[in-house]
Amino acid sequence: MRYLRRMSLAQSALLYAGVGCTFATVGFVTDLVALPAYRPFAIVLATVAMCGLLSCGYLAAAIHGVRWIPLLFAAQIGLTVAIDRGLPRDGDSVPPPLALERVAARAALDGVGCLFLAAAGYGFFIGFIGRQGIRQVRLETEMSLARDIHADLVPAIERRIAGFEIVGRSLPSTEVGGDLLDVFEDRGALWAIVADVSGHGVPAGTLMAMMRSAIRVRVAAGCTLEELFENLDQLLLDLHRPDKFATIACLRFDPHGEGEGLLAGHLPVIVVRAGTGAIEHIENRRPPIGLPVATAPTRLRHGAGDLFALLTDGLPETIDREGRPLDLEAIEEILRDRAAAPLAQAADDVFERARRHGTANDDRTLLLVRVLDPRATTAAVSAPPLA
């Protein structure tokens, strides 16, 4: 019904024509059933037209809402009564019989009318299905291309870069997701980024692709983390769409055991410290992208074995049958238990836990970064902001 509701009148004209012709045959069938009673052919044609038009009205009511159905039912009763009163009468109430020699001719005429309308209805249905089938194939082709582009933009990540082991997974809730997952090296520093664009489907995926390109270009130009977020704010503001915004978590690790992080409206980054298994958070400090607020990054230090987890809210907001979400603590527990395990196994365990918990209504993305460089030192994540 949602598909039919989105169609214009021109796109659905063949469907209404097919339904109208198919049900208009009831008018001829009614005349066949009444034989040998005499019914003027004008009355038969009026019944045919009434059945066809009312069937189109009922279809429109079914597609767009049931409010019209009582009115259509009242109109059907009124038209039926009017047609019945228009019939000639023999005596008080019985229509006069049709001459026997004309019964066969009238039956043949009614049969031809039924066949013609049935064939016309079939033709209109085939035309509608063919036209919409071509449109559907085109849409499916475009969606397939969008899925391929999305897979290229947000691929599964499993590699080592500059002394870090990295694993990333992103599962869209529809054909095309709005989550951004990206890891790259620039000037010896590792950038780890996860973002969640508002909405679902192709519009969210398109905006995600724009953000990914903007991030890569600005980082390559040597901008700071604050400048990057200012540029992303302007990107969304230039769209003039107040309903479009994005949350983002961005970490930059330098090769000397230090770095910086900045979040905008995003879930905290989970940090599992090596050795102790202590859980720390890099907290959000500003509103989502699209609501400009100048915020200094948080200084962070990382040591060998430390594990950083960036994720979108689709994971902790997975709902079970009783409406309870999978909270962030459950994910932290898995990461603590798998802190020394292969990262791919840890990521798979998180997604498996979410799958067993219940249904996901949003895109789910997880990026794990483990420090491998033994020269780095471990320190607290809640150090003062960078100047």
Ranges 135-144, 208-217, 273-282: which has the least confidence: 135-144
Model pLDDT, residue 89: 61
DSSP 8-state code for residue 280 = E
Q: Name the pLDDT band for 114 (thresholds 50, 70, 90).
A: very high
Give the chain's count of helices (H) and strands (E): 9, 11
Above 50 in pLDDT, residue 350? yes
Model pLDDT, residue 310: 95
- 5-9 average pLDDT score: 80
Above 60 in pLDDT, residue 362? yes
Q: Phi and psi for 329 in degrees, rounded to 5?
A: -65, -35
- Residue type at 286 in one-letter notation: R
Under 8 Å between Cβ of 88 and 95: yes
Model pLDDT, residue 133: 76
Kindly report the CATH number that applies to the domain delimited by 155-371. 3.60.40.10
Q: Name the pLDDT band for 120 (thresholds 50, 70, 90).
A: very high
Q: Name the pLDDT band for 91 (thresholds 50, 70, 90).
A: low
Model pLDDT, residue 379: 35
Above 90 in pLDDT, residue 191? yes
Q: Name the pLDDT band for 93 (thresholds 50, 70, 90).
A: low
Buried b (16+ CB within 10 A) or exposed e, 120-154: bbeebbeebeeebeeeeeeeeeeeeebbeebeebb
Residues in the chain: 387
> In this predicted model, which residue has the larger pLDDT, 123 or 79?
123
Q: Phi and psi for 193 in degrees, rounded to 5?
A: -135, 135
Q: Name the pLDDT band for 98 (thresholds 50, 70, 90).
A: low
Model pLDDT, residue 249: 94
Q: Name the pLDDT band for 208 (thresholds 50, 70, 90).
A: confident
> Residues 246-300: pLDDT tens digits?
999 999 998 777 889 999 999 999 999 988 889 999 999 899 998 888 888 889 8
Above 50 in pLDDT, residue 374? no
Q: Which of 180, 384, 184, 182 is nearest to 285 (CA)?
A: 384
Buried b (16+ CB within 10 A) or exposed e, 221-234: eeeebeebbbbbbe
Under 8 Å between Cβ of 32 and 12: no
Under 8 Å between Cβ of 262 and 229: yes
Ranges 40-44, 152-156, 325-329: which has the least confidence: 152-156
For helices 225-237 and 201-220, give the axis angle rounded to 10 degrees.
140
- What order do you get walking across the sheet with 279-282 strand by strand? 157-161, 164-171, 364-371, 307-311, 269-272, 279-282
d(CA 137, CA 349): 37
Q: Name the pLDDT band for 3 (thresholds 50, 70, 90).
A: confident
Q: Which of 18, 79, 74 is nearest to 43 (CA)?
A: 79
> In this predicted model, which residue has the larger pLDDT, 212 or 359?
212
DSSP H/E element including 182: strand 179-186
Q: How many Cβ atoms are within 10 Å of 360's Cβ, its own excluded? A: 19
Q: Name the pLDDT band for 137 (thresholds 50, 70, 90).
A: confident
What is the chain's mean pLDDT, rounded? 84
pLDDT above 70 covers a percentage of the chain that reads: 90
Above 90 in pLDDT, residue 215? yes
Above 70 in pLDDT, residue 92? no
Under 8 Å between Cβ of 35 and 104: no
Above 90 in pLDDT, residue 102? no
d(CA 280, CA 336): 11
Sign of CA dihedral 345, 209, 142, 16: positive
Q: Determine if the pTM surpasses 0.95.
A: no
Q: Which of 358, 368, 295, 297 is nearest to 327 (CA)?
A: 358
Q: Name the pLDDT band for 67 (thresholds 50, 70, 90).
A: confident
Model pLDDT, residue 385: 38
- 156-163 average pLDDT score: 86
For helices 100-153 and 9-34, give the axis angle rounded to 10 degrees.
150
Residue ranges covered by each domain of the chain:
2-146, 155-371
d(CA 151, CA 171): 10
d(CA 210, CA 215): 9
d(CA 195, CA 205): 11
Please list the residues that pair with 224 across neighbouring strands. Answer: none
Model pLDDT, residue 387: 32
Above 90 in pLDDT, residue 42? no
